[in-house]
Structure 1
Amino acid sequence: MPQQYVPHQSQQSQQPSVPHQYAPPQSEPHRPAPSAARPAPQAPLSGQDIAMIRASLAVVEPHAAELPVHFYATLFGRYPQVRELFPPDMDVQHDRLVRALLLIVDLVDDAKNLARFCGDLGRDHRKFGTQSAHYAAVGECLLATLEHFAGPAWTADLAAAWTRAYTTAAQAMDQAAAADAAERPAVWHAPIVRHVKRGSDLAEITVRPDQPYSFTGGQFVSLETPWRPKVWRYYSPANAPRPDGTVTFYVRAVPGGRISTALVHQAAVGDVLRLGLPLGDLTIDPTAARDVVCVAGGTGLAAIRALVEQAVLDGAQRRVDLFVGARTAQELYGLEDLLRLSQRHRWLTVRAAISDEDVPRTRRSLSDALAESGPWQQPDAYLSGPAAMITAAARVLHRTGVPFERLHHDPFVQLDFLGS
């Protein structure tokens, strides 16, 4: 699965253009929004630039909790006109800023993956209405924030290195957004056409986007509700593309989660959601010949079910072993559809594992089910579900023959067990 995806929040769109080169931070407290002139050519980052950037991050990392607060205070102080583009509650946004910054620094010497990550980020920013001028304002305030926390370690050479790094990332984002704008809308309005409860805290929600919505089974989608404008959450479609254009999501009401709770308990047929563009590459390569192992738990079943349906659409013939884990039999929603699918396609085998109930042939943990069915002959593995489940399953698969590079998983989960 791709690197962790970290979106940024802004709203009200215009077609982006290429941003200007970002100057190091200035001292004036208020400025008009910067212009969007074409940038000067950027020299590639040198090894010394990369070393300085990473060393400076180590200096500011102890202030990770304070950094986003200072950054947004600086941004809203210098450019108060942008405050209305953000949601009232900034806690999630604070976390995303830090994770995006850390990931960009991690990829700063990997031009291909940095461009890929920033391209996805830029395309996704379209739904927030990001303009080229916003990149300049963000770059200016980001460098001011880094300077504040770096203290004496901040030098003219370090400022220049950070400027080059940020400009490279921002240009990749903005150029990707501009290209994407020529091909498809920034958002899709999607009325709910079916809402079915699958238990006390789970709903199956089907929407029909107002324009063609092209995606591949296994990708994920950002979703905005009418109850929390400007706040987006990520869900995986539970289906591959359908002839009628509808998209289904499994949503579990999370304690304290205002969006998930509203979707499960308040949403009804006729309510209109907004979808961002599909992202992610938790997708099965239809040209590969290796066997496939899929592991799903909780609402992670959505992505895996979509993967299997996509394999059917692609005319797959290679072996696919699907393991579905749950605590109780009631949580195995959608299993009957997958079992029927396996009856029509001999290459698909479906197994269930229930950990907390005495159910014939299923009372075992998902990890035990995987271990008992191995060893695995280096298949491609796809995992989706709770973080603890993904980590445990990945550990078993890795120890029984699956190379680490063939473990594909949710983009919001980090695997750090290798070697443990």
Structure 2
Amino acid sequence: MNAQALKDSWRLVARSGDEVPLFFYSALFLMNPETRDLFPVAMASQRDRLVGALGRIVSNVDRVEELVPYLQQLGRDHRKFAVVTEHYPAVGRALLATLEHFLGDRWTPALAEDWTKAYSLVAQVMSDAAADVSKTTPPWWEGEIISHETPALGIAVIRARLNYQYVFRPGQSASISHPRRPRVWRFYSFANAPRQDNTIDLHVRMVDGGVLSAALVMGARRGDVLRVGAPVGDKLKLSPDMPGDLLLIAGGTGLAPLKALVEQVMYEGPSRKVDIVVGARTSRELYDLDALSKMAVEHPWLNVVPAVSNDPYYRGARGNAVDVALQAWRGQQVFVCGSTEMAQSTVGRLLDAGVPSEQIHFDEFTSDKGGES
């Protein structure tokens, strides 16, 4: 395979922007109408995600060794959409038709062969991973909502009990779906460490245009049954052999996975001191402060510092969370989670302040329109 030819051709196709996914899905649904049921009724919020991912992955097939873990995770995770082995050739045919349409005279037999081989390799890795995991785990778990609270405007704290044993690590997330929005999945981080009662906590912020976040915040009720995909992610992993105390910096609902790390320390025993700085624009957005304060009272090793950046009447710590956090930094391991903008600016500020990069662990999320929230 000519890897450079794959990369160059995908760059040319990507210049056509939104026309590419529109053509791809039209071709897919015309050639294989049965695949329409795999996708949500409203496609606008995610129509380019599959096509963009396919193009980037296949055009980088020369790095397949690096891509294998990611492809395997994709294959396992896509089972929640009821994707089966027979669907992969249909997607491949639609992808090739799309490439041919936008490349025109540049679409040669040699290039078609390269794309066919590259896609076949990617599809094989994904389908093999899906087949292997299907022997031991379901495509999704069902979680009955047993508690639904809205402690702040536009934010819900949800607890659900899963129907089967669910093994995850603090700091991980999973894709979630609600019956009000069938076939719409978005990633949310767990706000707790694993418990014996098999419950999970989710912190959900409603965002503009977020079809699932609106359903979870405004429409979800006790008794509703969520679908929960397999756990993913290792960016916020707290391993037992990681040395030192912890400084956690949370922005908005980025608090969720950091609260899970606090619970992990609590369950493992107070071998570390933990400072957690919870950032918000106004005091009204400090939605989980009561629960955190209660934990701090019960566990002297935990210090909770709310930081408000845009409320002149707030009497506590004021300023960006990272600036407040740096006042408490004394060589600890630093964990950061928040929006993409918050996480990137916080990490940059930490590095500028002299925090070693190997001591900074961070994750970021986008809005419910397209990713994790």
TM (norm. structure 1) is 0.79
Residues 386 and 60 of structure 1: CA distance in aligned 2, closer, same or farther (over 3 Å): same
Query: In the alignment, does 2:128 pair up with 1:175?
Result: yes
Which residue is equivalent to 1:395?
A: 348
What letter corresponds to residue 247 of structure 1 in structure 2? I
Cα deviation, 1:212-260, whole Å, max 9, x if unaligned, reads 1221111111111111111112211111111111111112222333322
Which residue is equivalent to 2:369?
A: none
Matched ranges for 1:223-238 at <5 A? 223-238=176-191
Decide whether the 8 Å contact of 2:343 with 2:364 is kept in 1: no
State the SS of the aligned residue for 2:95.
helix
State the SS of the aligned residue for 2:45.
helix
Which residue is equivalent to 1:310?
A: 264
Which residue is equivalent to 1:126?
A: 79
For residue 141 of structure 1, report the CA deviation from its aligned partner.
1.3
Cα deviation, 1:85-133, whole Å, max 9, x if unaligned, reads 2211112331312441354257534334311111111111111111111
Decide whether the 8 Å contact of 1:190 with 1:273 is kept in 2: yes
Q: Which moved more, 1:135-144 or 1:291-300?
A: 291-300
Match of 1:280 among 233, 237, 250: 233
Which residue is equivalent to 2:172?
A: 219
Query: In the alignment, does 2:284 pair up with 1:351?
Result: no
Match of 2:221 among 268, 272, 278: 268
Residues 398 and 78 of structure 1: CA distance in aligned 2, closer, same or farther (over 3 Å): same
Decide whether the 8 Å contact of 2:166 with 2:198 is kept in 1: yes
For residue 310 of structure 1, report the CA deviation from its aligned partner.
2.4
Distance 1:163 1:404 in 2: 41
Distance 1:314 1:252 in 2: 30
Cα deviation, 1:15-53, whole Å, max 9, x if unaligned, reads xxxxxxxxxxxxxxxxxxxxxxxxxxxxxx5xxx22121
Query: Which structure carries more strand by proportion?
Result: 2
Percent identity over the alignment?
A: 43
For residue 291 of structure 1, report the CA deviation from its aligned partner.
4.9
Match of 1:69 among 22, 29, 47: 22
Distance 1:108 1:382 in 2: 33
Distance 1:406 1:144 in 2: 47
For residue 266 of structure 1, report the CA deviation from its aligned partner.
2.2
Decide whether the 8 Å contact of 1:284 with 1:311 is kept in 2: no
Decide whether the 8 Å contact of 1:286 with 1:311 is kept in 2: no
Residues 371 and 385 of structure 1: CA distance in aligned 2, closer, same or farther (over 3 Å): same
For residue 404 of structure 1, report the CA deviation from its aligned partner.
4.9
Which residue is equivalent to 1:370?
A: 325
Decide whether the 8 Å contact of 2:190 with 2:260 is kept in 1: yes
Distance 1:294 1:215 in 2: 20
Distance 1:108 1:236 in 2: 30
Distance 2:14 2:162 in 1: 42
Distance 1:168 1:345 in 2: 52
TM (norm. structure 2) is 0.89
Query: What are structure 1's unaligned runs of at least 5 residues?
Result: 1-44, 414-420
Q: Which moved more, 1:387-396 or 1:331-340?
A: 331-340
State the SS of the aligned residue for 2:76.
helix
Decide whether the 8 Å contact of 1:224 with 1:233 is kept in 2: yes
Q: Which moved more, 1:311-320 or 1:118-127?
A: 311-320
Match of 2:104 among 148, 151, 162: 151
Q: Which moved more, 1:306-315 or 1:197-206?
A: 306-315
Residues 308 and 137 of structure 1: CA distance in aligned 2, closer, same or farther (over 3 Å): same
Which residue is equivalent to 1:204?
A: 157
State the SS of the aligned residue for 1:384.
strand
Decide whether the 8 Å contact of 1:370 with 1:393 is kept in 2: no
State the SS of the aligned residue for 1:110.
helix
Which residue is equivalent to 1:335?
A: 289
Decide whether the 8 Å contact of 1:197 with 1:264 is kept in 2: yes
Residues 399 and 74 of structure 1: CA distance in aligned 2, closer, same or farther (over 3 Å): same
For residue 411 of structure 1, report the CA deviation from its aligned partner.
5.3
Decide whether the 8 Å contact of 1:280 with 1:411 is kept in 2: no
Query: What are structure 2's unaligned runs of at least 5 residues?
Result: 367-373
CA root-mean-square deviation? 2.5
What letter corresponds to residue 349 of structure 2 in structure 1? V
